[in-house]
Amino acid sequence: GEDVEQSLFLSVREGDSSVINCTYTDSSSTYLYWYKQEPGAGLQLLTYIFSNMDMKQDQRLTVLLNKKDKHLSLRIADTQTGDSAIYFCAETTSGTYKYIFGTGTRLKVLA
Amino acid sequence: SQTIHQWPATLVQPVGSPLSLECTVEGTSNPNLYWYRQAAGRGLQLLFYSVGIGQISSEVPQNLSASRPQDRQFILSSKKLLLSDSGFYLCAWTTQGSQPQHFGDGTRLSIL
């Protein structure tokens, strides 16, 4: 079945860039999403990209999609302590109702 | 604007007791609704989804059930809770199609 994989942890220094990676298996994925989860809270949608795009930029966030390798990344520029959270990537395919989530990457920002 | 509400925020229940978690969405019609469970330090497990009133799809066989009595109301229930039902339960909605899901604030369920 479909699978989405992420590394579990990432640690960066405040002010550096963070890059969170995600790989997926479903070649028919239509939309790919990035969510942020702070402790004890629900998931907050950060950004998403349609599969016919290679890149999307939104302020400090840059999403890169390599459809050939089924690889998605989220780059956070000038990472701040408030960016410390768990980041989930997710994918869905047009015509289905299911969204497949990765296991999440815990980002720790060191002051 | 659309909003999603989940309650209660936290719940402590004894093993064998019943459960009812409620989720409502405002500001949209005919949303697709979802229940997920998140175990500590883990990703999201899809439990149920619904694309219309009275329509429920179950993803994982278990002692939980879901109902959708109204267009924008989604309820997660159990007749007898197990220890393994502990976790963080999240409700989400989306418009028709592959639009992004939007999540509630979650319910932390602890079973004693």
Q: What's the pLDDT at B61? A: 66
- Interface test mutation site (partner A, options B48, B51, B98, B107, max chain A beta carbons within 10 A): B98
Report the range of poorest mean pLDDT among A32-36, A105-109, B42-46. B42-46
pLDDT in tens, A6-59: 999 999 999 999 999 999 988 888 899 999 999 989 999 999 999 899 999 999
Q: What's the pLDDT at B62? A: 79
User: By the CB < 8 Å criterion, does B97 face chain A?
Assistant: yes
Closest residue of chain A to B94, computed from CA coordinates: A97
Report the range of poorest mean pLDDT among A12-26, A68-82, B34-48. B34-48
**Length of chain B in terms of residues written:** 112
In whole angstroms, give the CA distance from residue B45 to residue A40. Answer: 17
Q: What's the pLDDT at A1? A: 64
Identity of residue A8: L
List CB contacts of A80: < 8 A, sequence separation 6 or more.
A14, A109
Buried b (16+ CB within 10 A) or exposed e, A92-107: bbeeebebbbbbbbbb
Rounded to the nearest 5 degrees, what angle is found at the Cα of B97, between the Cα atoms of B92 and B99? Answer: 55
Q: Which two tokens stand for residue B111?
A: 């079973």
